[in-house]
Chain A
Amino acid sequence: MNKNFILYAAILIFGLAAPFLFPAFKVQLSILCVLIVLATTWNIQGGEMGYNSFGNILFYGLGMYLCASVQVGMFFPLAEWTESGGEKTFVHTPTQFFQGMAFGLVVAAVVPTIVAGLIGYSILGLRGHYFAICTLGLGVAAGEISGGIEIIGAGQGFTTPPFPNVGSLEARGEFFYFLSFFTLVLTFIAVRSIYSTRFKLILNAIRDNEDKAEAMGIETMKYKIIGWMISAFFCGLAGGIMGGLVGYIDSTDVAFDGREMGVFMVLMAILGGKGTLWGPIIGATIFHIFKEGFWTFFLGWQYVALGVLIVVIVIYFPEGIMGWLREKYPERFGEVVDEKDRKAQVELK
C-alpha cells in the first residue's frame, strides 16, 4: 500500500510537471492522456466484461460533436457558424469560451451515457461475432449519417471555437493538457474504485460464463448496461476534449474515425493486456510513442504499419504486456506459486 502511494504520487507529480519539463510536447501529452482514457474505458467492457466493442468510437464522436455544438450554440447561431467555415465572423470572449467548454463537456459526457443506456438493452443482448460486428456497424453508420447532416457541417467539417486570447501563447496547450490530465486522473480513480468492488467480479463473471452468471442470480443485463454506460461517459468526455484540441471536426476522419481511433483503443488495451488496470495505460503509452515515431519518420506507411501491428499483436501477443509479465513473474501479481508445480509445468511444455 505504502509502495503504491509513492508510485501514485510520483506519477501525479510527473504529470503535473510534464508540460513545463517538455513544453514542445504539450499537445502530444494531451493526446496521450486522451488515448489512455479511451483504452482504460474500452477495457471496462472489452477486457473485464468480455464484450469486445468496435463501437465506443460512437460515444467519442458524439461527445466531440456535442461539446463543440454546445460551445458554439450557447452564444451564436450554430447554422451560420458552420456555414462560415473557418471564417472568424464570431469570436468567443474568454469567459464565453470557458463557460461553453465547461457546459459542453458536461453535455458531452451525459448524453453519450444516456445513449449507451438506451441502446444498451438491445445491443448488449448480442454475443460474440454479432456484438462486435453490430458495434462496428454502429460506429460507421454514425459517421456516415453525421456526414450528411447540414447543421454540424456535413462533409466539409466543423471548426471548433478557436482558443481565446488570454495573454500567454502557452495558455492553449497548458489548458488542454491540464484538462485532459485531470480527466485521466478522474478516470483512473473511478476505474480503480470500480475494480475494487463487487461490480468488477460481476463483470468478470459475465466474461467467463454469462449463462452461469445469470443462473447464479446476477441480473447480467443490468450490469452490462451499467458497464457500457461508464465506458460511454468517459469516452464522451475524451471526445469533447479531443474536439477542442484538434480544432476541427470531420465526420469520418476525426469524430467517428473507426479506422483510426476506433481501432486504436482496442489495440492499446490488447497491447497492454486486457482485463488489467495498468495494462491499457502501459499499452497506450507504448503505442503512442510507437505511433508518433512511425507517423513522423515513415509518413504514408502508417496504416500499413498499423495493419501489420494489429495482426502481429493479435496473433502473437493476445495476452499483452501485462499477461506476459504475469506469466513470467506470477508472484508479483499475488499468485501463490508452488515451485514444484511450476517446474513440472515447464517440463511438460
Chain B
Amino acid sequence: MDFLVFQYPMITLQACLDGILLGVLFALIAYGMALQWGVMNIINIAQGDLVILGGYIAYFMYLYGIHPAWGVIVAPVIMYFVGIAIYKLVINKVVDRDLFISILATFGISILFMQLMNFAFGADVVLANSGYGTTMLFDNNVVLPNSKIFSAFISIVFAVCLVIYMKKSKLGRAIRATAQNARAAKILGVDTEKVYAATFGINAALCGVAGALISITFTIHPYMGLPYTIRSFMIVIVAGLGNLPGVAMSGMGLGVFEEFADYILGTEFRIGSVFLLLVLILVYRRFKLSRKREYLK
C-alpha cells in the first residue's frame, strides 16, 4: 500500500475539496433525519430510499429532455406528498410505540421502495448528465466538476431557507414546540398530528432535493439507499440533535473521510468503511457515556 495521498499534496487537496462538496449533501440529508428524529423520535431507515427516489425523479426529467437541475424544484414537491402518504399510511401508527417497532417498520418501507424502484426503473446504475463543465484549479491539478459545486451551493441555499422557515413561520414554531414537548404543545393548541405529517413531508422533500443533486453529481441505483441512511444517522449522532453547525461540520468531515478511505483502502471498501466507522463511533460514544454514568455511581 502506498500512501501517495500524503506525498502529493494536490491529491490531498483534491480529496478534501471533493469530500467537502460531498459532505454538504450528506449534511442536507442528515438535517432531515435530525428533524424527524427530534420531533417524532423516529429513525427512518427508508431515508436513503427517499433520496434515491428523488434522484430518479430528476433522472426521468433528464430522460424526457428537461434539464435535470429543474429536478431540484420538482423533486421536493413530489417527495413532499410521498412523505405525507407514508406518514398517513404507516408512520402515524408507530409514532408513539416502541423504538424498535418504528425501526422495523421503516426497514420494511425501505425494502418495499428498493424493490418497487427496481421494477419501475431497472437495476442499472444511472446518472443524469447536467452538461456542466469542470473547473480546473491550481494549474489544472485539482479538477472539480461544476455539478458538484452547483449541488453544494443548492444544498446550502435549501438548508438556509429551511432554517429561516423554522425560525420565522408559524408551522416552524409549531414543529419546534412539538419537538420540545409534544404534550405541552398539544395543550397549547398545536395540532401535533398535522405537525408530524408536515415534518415527515419536509424531511422527504429534503431527501428529494438531495436525491436530485446526487443524480446530477454522482450515480443512483435502486439498492444504494441504505448507505445514505447510515451516513445521515452517523452525522446526527456525532453532531447531536438540534445542533445545526455540528451537522454541517460532521457532514463535511464524513465526506472527507470517505474520499480518503476511497484513496487509501480502495473503492471496494468505501461503503464498508462507512459502516465500520458508524460502529466505531457508536462504541466510542458508549464508552464516553459510560464514564459519565460512573460519575453518578
Contact = CB atoms under 8 A, between A and B. Distances in A.
A134 interface: yes
A222 interface: no
A304 B108 contact: no
Q: Is the interface of A mostly helix, strand, loop or mixed?
A: helix
Given A122-B286, A141-B272, A266-B104, A314 B94 contact: yes
A126 interface: yes
Contacts of B104: 52, 266, 270, 310, 314
B107 interface: yes
A138 B108 contact: no
Given A132-B100, A140-B226, A148-B272, A304 B116 contact: yes
A134 B112 CA distance: 22
B275 A141 contact: yes
B111 A125 contact: no
B10 interface: no
Interface string A128-156: 11101110111011011101100000110
Interface string B256-280: 0000000000101101100110110
Contact of A310 (B105, B230, B286): B105
Interface string A294-322: 00000011011011111100110010000
A263 interface: yes
Given A122-B283, A133-B43, A137-B230, A144 B275 contact: yes
A123 interface: yes
B108 A307 contact: yes
Nearest to A259: B111
A117 to B, nearest CB: 15
Interface string A69-86: 000000000000000000
Contact of B115 (A134, A137, A266, A307): A307
Contacts of A133: 43, 103, 230, 233, 278, 282
A51 B110 CA distance: 22
Interface residues of A, number: 41
B116 A310 contact: no
Nearest to B223: A259
Nearest to B114: A303
B194 interface: no
B86 to A, nearest CB: 10
Contacts of B290: 125
Nearest to B100: A52
Contact of B105 (A136, A148, A301, A311): A311
Contact of B272 (A130, A144, A270, A306): A144
A52 B103 CA distance: 10
A129 B115 contact: no
Contact of A263 (B93, B111, B275): B111
Interface in A235-268: 259, 263, 266
Contacts of A134: 278-279, 282-283
A74 B70 CA distance: 60
Contacts of B226: 140
A307 B111 contact: yes
B114 A263 contact: no
Contacts of A130: 237, 282, 285-286
Contact of A315 (B93, B107, B112, B276): B93
Contact of B90 (A54, A136, A311): A311
A101 to B, nearest CB: 30
A125 B101 CA distance: 20
A304 B117 CA distance: 10
A318 B287 CA distance: 32
B111 A145 contact: no
B167 interface: no
B279 A263 contact: no
Contacts of A266: 104
Given A125-B290, A128-B99, A129-B43, A145 B115 contact: no
Interface string B31-45: 000000000000101
A145 B269 contact: yes
Contacts of A304: 112, 115-116, 119
B97 interface: yes
25 contacts: A52-B103, A122-B286, A126-B283, A128-B99, A128-B100, A130-B286, A133-B103, A133-B230, A140-B230, A141-B279, A145-B269, A145-B272, A148-B266, A259-B114, A263-B107, A263-B111, A300-B119, A303-B111, A303-B118, A306-B112, A307-B108, A310-B105, A314-B94, A314-B108, A318-B98
Interface of B: 43, 45, 90, 93-94, 97-101, 103-105, 107-116, 118-119, 226, 230, 233, 237, 266, 268-269, 271-272, 275-276, 278-279, 282-283, 285-287, 290
Given A140-B272, A307-B112, A310-B105, 12 more contacts: A123-B282, A125-B290, A133-B278, A137-B279, A137-B282, A140-B275, A259-B111, A303-B114, A310-B104, A310-B111, A311-B112, A314-B94
Q: Which 7 A-B pairs have the closest CB atoms?
A: A307-B112, A310-B108, A144-B272, A141-B275, A303-B115, A307-B111, A311-B108
